[in-house]
Amino acid sequence: MVKSYLKKLNEIASLGDAREESYYSTLENLLTSYAESVNKHKFHITVLPKKTEAGNPDFRIWDGQQKITGYIEAKAPEFENLDHIENTEQLTRYCSTFPNLILTNFCEFRLYREGRLIDKTLIARPFVLNRLKTIPPVENESDFINLLEKFFSYSFPKITTARNLALELAKRTRFLKDEVIAEEIKEESEGKQGDILGFYEAFRTYLINDLSHEDFADLYSQTIAYGLFAARMRSEKSFNRKLAFDNIPHTIGILRDVFRFISFGEVPAPMEWIIDDISEVLAVADVKAILHQYFHEGKGKDPIIHFYETFLAEYDPKTREKRGVYYTPEPVVSYIVHSLHIILKEHFNRPHGLASNNVTVLDPAAGTLTFLAEAAQVAVSEYCNTYGDGTKQEFIRQHILQNFYAFELMMAPYAVGHMKMSFLLEELGYALRDDDRFKLYLTNTLEMDNLEQTHIPGMSSLSEESHMAGTVKKEKPILVILGNPPYSGHSANASIKTTVKNVNGKDKIIRKKTWIGEKIEEYKFVNGRPLGEKNPKWLQDDYVKFIRFAQWKIDQAGEGVVGMITNHSYLDNPTFRGMRQSLMKSFDEIYVLDLHGNSLKKETCPDGSKDENVFDIQQGVAIMFLIKKKEES
C-alpha cells in the first residue's frame, strides 16, 4: 500500500511541473485503501480545491454516518522540514480550531489532537523525491499505520459543560468569520459570483448603513453559529446543517432566509466544511443537560440567554463591550418590571397593570428579551389571578403577541430572543402557531430612514421586518418603554452620516445629521442657550440616544412611562445639564435609584465596604422611572 503510494508520488514529482494539488489524489487513494483494509468501508474523504492560504485544511474525512473524523493539511514535498510549517499562523489557527488534524508533506505525517502534537512518523525521505528523482524506500510503515489508526478512530467527545460548549463554538465561529466569510466577501467583491455579498448588501441597506465587510463577517458568523444553537435546542434527535432549517421557528423569517441558504443552497465548500464542523460540536453536546447545569450554578431561570453572554465572552469580548452585551441581573429586571406594573395601576388608572388590554410595551434595545419575558410573565400572572386560567391562551394571543414590541440590532441575540420567547410562551401554555410571531424586530432603533423593498433573493424578510419596525417607531403609540440600552462612549450609532455624491463629475462629501443626531441637539441647550462645553462628547453615548428616543416616543403618545437601567453619569455631569432640563420638561415625575458602582470614582458603601456594581463594568449605573401624564404640567 505505502510502496505503491510512494511510486505514484515519484511519477508525479518526475513530471517537473507538479504543484501541491497534483499529489492530492494519490494521498486520497492511500487513505481510502487504508480505510478499506480495516473495514471502514463507509469512510468518505473530500478534498477542498486550493484557492488561498486562508480557509480550511485541504482534506476532510467523514465516518460515513454524518460524523466528521478529522482534517488533513497538506504541503508539497518541496517543504522538506515541517517544523517551519508547524510554527506558522495558519497551522496555529487550524490546530486551535480542529481537534483531530494531520499535517503532511506527503512523506512525513504529524498528528495533532486538541492542538497538541501526539504522534509523527516519516515514511520516506522528501529529498529522495526532490533531489535524487527516484522512488524513496519505505520507512516506519507500522508506525504510520498506527498513526492512521489513531486518526481514523477519533470521535468528538460529548460536551457536558456550558463553558466548554461556548469555547468550542467560539473558536469555530471565529474561524468562520476570519478565514471563510471574510475571504468569500473579498472574492465576490472582486467579481466572483456568490450569495454572501448579496446578504451583505441587504444587511447594509436594511439594517446598518455603515456596515463594513469585517463587521458583516462577524454578524453573519454569529448568526449562523447561534442559529444552529437555536435549532439544536429544538432538535430532540440527530442534528446536522441540513436539518437545521426544519428546527428554526417559522416566526423568525430572517433566520429562515439565512438557513434556507445554509441548509439547501449552493454553499461555498470552505463555508460548508466549517458549518458542518459547528453542527458536529452541537450534535454531540448534551444541550439540555448543560442548560440545566447552568440553572443550578445560580445563573438564574434564563440559562439560554446567559449562555449567549458566555459564548460572546469567549468569542469576542470587545464586541461584547462595544455593543453593551451585559445581561441585566434578574433582581434588577424584576424590580423594574414590577415597579412599572405598579406605576400603571397607581398613576395611569390601568387596574391590571401590564395585563390591562390597552397597555403597549416596547423594549428598544431588547437583546435577548430578558425584560419583555419578565413583563409577559407578570402580565399573564396578573390576568390568571384575576380571571382564572380558562381564557389564558386567548389573552396571550390578543395581548402579549399584539401589544408587546421589541427592537434589536444584533442578529444573534435577536435569534436567541425569538427562541427564548417561544419557549416561555410554551411554558405559559401557549404554543406559537405558524401565523403567530412575537413582535421582536431586527432593526436599528435610532434609524428612521424609509427603505425600499429589497430585490435580493432570499432577503425579502429583512426589508419586510424593517418596514414593520418603522411603523412601530413612527406610528404606534407606546405607553411603556423599558430595558437596558447599551452604554458606549464610542457610539455604534452615528449622529452624522457621511455620503459621497457625484456633482458635475466630481465626488462631493456630504455630511448630514442622522435622525437621532438631530434629536440629541436639544440636549446641547439650557434655557435656550448653548451649553458652552468645548467637547460635549458624552452626549453621544448610546444610552443617551436611547433615552432620547424613549422621551420622543412618549412625547408623541402624550403619556407614558419609561423604566430603564443606564449609565448614571447624566445625574451629576455638567455636560448633561440640557438633558436633565429637557427630561424635566417632558415628564411630570422622575424617580431615580442610583445603584452607584463606579470604580473610577472609588466610592465606598456607607459602612465603608466596597461599592460593587450590579454589572461586571467600571461605570456606575442607575435605574430611572420617567412618568408623563396627559394634560398635566
| Top-confidence residue, 464 or 453 | 464
| Top-confidence residue, 59 or 427 | 59
| Top-confidence residue, 500 or 469 | 469
Query: What's the CA gap between 480 and 87, in Å, rounded?
Result: 57
With vertex at residue 65, the alpha carbon angle to CA 60 and CA 71, rounded to the nearest 5 degrees, is 15
Categorize the per-residue pLDDT at 23 as very low, low, confident or very high, splitting at 50, 70 and 90: very high
Over range 330-339, report the average pLDDT.
95
pLDDT of 561 strictly over 70: yes
> In this structure, which amino acid lies at residue 298?
G
pLDDT at 74: 94
pLDDT at 183: 87
In tens, the pLDDT along 61-82 reads: 988 776 889 999 999 998 888 9
pLDDT at 380: 97
Q: Which of 6-20, 309-323, 430-444 has the lowest mean pLDDT?
A: 309-323
Mean pLDDT score of the chain? 86
Query: Residue written as cell 497534483?
Result: 22
Over range 169-187, report the average pLDDT.
90
Contact assessment for residue 487 and residue 614, using Cβ atoms and an 8 Å cutoff? no
pLDDT at 492: 56
Phi then psi dihedrals of residue 400, to 5 deg = -65, -45
| Top-confidence residue, 67 or 585 | 585
Helices within 450-558 (DSSP H only)? 460-474, 515-520, 542-557
pLDDT at 417: 86
Q: Considering Cα of 269, then 272, then 278, then 279, what sign does the dihedral take? A: negative
Element (H, E) at 535: none
| Top-confidence residue, 531 or 585 | 585
Beta partners for 61? 45, 70
pLDDT of 520 strictly over 90: yes
pLDDT of 470 strictly over 80: yes
* Domains defined for the chain, CATH in brackets: 2-152 (3.90.1570), 162-322 (no CATH)
Q: Which of 33-47, 105-119, 515-529 has the lowest mean pLDDT?
A: 33-47
pLDDT of 91 strictly over 70: yes
In tens, the pLDDT along 594-633 reads: 999 888 787 888 898 888 888 877 789 999 999 999 876 5
pLDDT at 457: 52
Contact assessment for residue 35 and residue 152, using Cβ atoms and an 8 Å cutoff? yes
pLDDT at 329: 84
Categorize the per-residue pLDDT at 186 as very low, low, confident or very high, splitting at 50, 70 and 90: confident
pLDDT of 86 strictly over 80: yes
Q: Give the rounded distance of the alpha carbon of 161 from its chain centre.
A: 20
* Among 87, 88, 93, 144, residue whose Cα is nearest residue 121: 144
pLDDT of 202 strictly over 90: no
Q: Which of 24-38, 178-192, 444-458 has the lowest mean pLDDT?
A: 444-458
pLDDT of 149 strictly over 80: yes
Q: Which of 126-135, 332-341, 460-469, 539-548 has the lowest mean pLDDT?
A: 460-469
In tens, the pLDDT along 276-291 reads: 999 989 998 887 777 6
Over range 551-558, report the average pLDDT.
96
pLDDT at 459: 61
Pairing of strands 439-442, 480-483: unpaired
With vertex at residue 281, the alpha carbon angle to CA 276 and CA 287, rounded to the nearest 5 degrees, is 130
Helix crossing, 162-175 with 269-283: angle to 10°?
Answer: 180
* Among 333, 385, 341, residue whose Cα is nearest residue 359: 341
pLDDT of 231 strictly over 70: yes
Pairing of strands 68-74, 59-62: antiparallel
Categorize the per-residue pLDDT at 227 as very low, low, confident or very high, splitting at 50, 70 and 90: confident
Q: Which of 131-145, 226-240, 469-483 has the lowest mean pLDDT?
A: 226-240
Contact assessment for residue 265 and residue 451, using Cβ atoms and an 8 Å cutoff? no
Q: Give the rounded distance of the alpha carbon of 432 from its chain centre.
A: 24
Query: What's the CA gap between 420 and 440, in Å, rounded?
Result: 11
Burial of residue 146 (CB within 10 Å: 0-12, 13-18, 19+) is middle
* Among 306, 328, 308, 332, residue whose Cα is nearest residue 319: 308
Query: What's the CA gap between 409 and 423, in Å, rounded?
Result: 22
pLDDT at 210: 75
Could you please report the per-residue DSSP string of 183-229? HHHHHHHTT---SHHHHHHHHHHHT-TT--HHHHHHHHHHHHHHHHH
Contact assessment for residue 41 and residue 55, using Cβ atoms and an 8 Å cutoff? no
Over range 580-584, report the average pLDDT.
97
Over range 493-522, report the average pLDDT.
75
Whole-angstrom Cα Rg for the chain: 29
487-to-521, 553, 560, 616 alpha-carbon distances in Å = 19, 20, 23, 13
> In this structure, which amino acid lies at residue 39?
N
Categorize the per-residue pLDDT at 138 as very low, low, confident or very high, splitting at 50, 70 and 90: very high
41-45, 167-171, 334-338, 364-368 — most confident range: 334-338
Over range 473-491, report the average pLDDT.
86
Query: What's the CA gap between 244 and 230, in Å, rounded?
Result: 9
Q: How many helices (H) and strands (E) does the chain have?
A: 25, 17
In tens, the pLDDT along 396-407 reads: 999 999 999 999
pLDDT of 410 strictly over 80: yes
pLDDT at 522: 93
pLDDT of 458 strictly over 60: no
Nine cell digits for residue 523: 440636549
Q: Which of 162-171, 217-226, 290-299 has the lowest mean pLDDT?
A: 290-299
pLDDT at 201: 84
How many other C-beta atoms can be found within 10 angstroms of the C-beta atom of residue 610? 10
pLDDT at 251: 67
Over range 583-600, report the average pLDDT.
93
How much of the chain exceeds pLDDT 90, in percent?
A: 47
How many other C-beta atoms can be found within 10 angstroms of the C-beta atom of residue 377? 18
pLDDT at 610: 86
| Top-confidence residue, 502 or 626 | 626
In tens, the pLDDT along 564-580 reads: 999 999 999 999 999 99
pLDDT at 219: 86
pLDDT at 367: 87
Contact assessment for residue 417 and residue 369, using Cβ atoms and an 8 Å cutoff? yes
DSSP 60: E
pLDDT at 454: 52
pLDDT at 356: 97
Contact assessment for residue 419 and residue 487, using Cβ atoms and an 8 Å cutoff? no
Categorize the per-residue pLDDT at 488 as very low, low, confident or very high, splitting at 50, 70 and 90: low
Over range 184-206, report the average pLDDT.
82
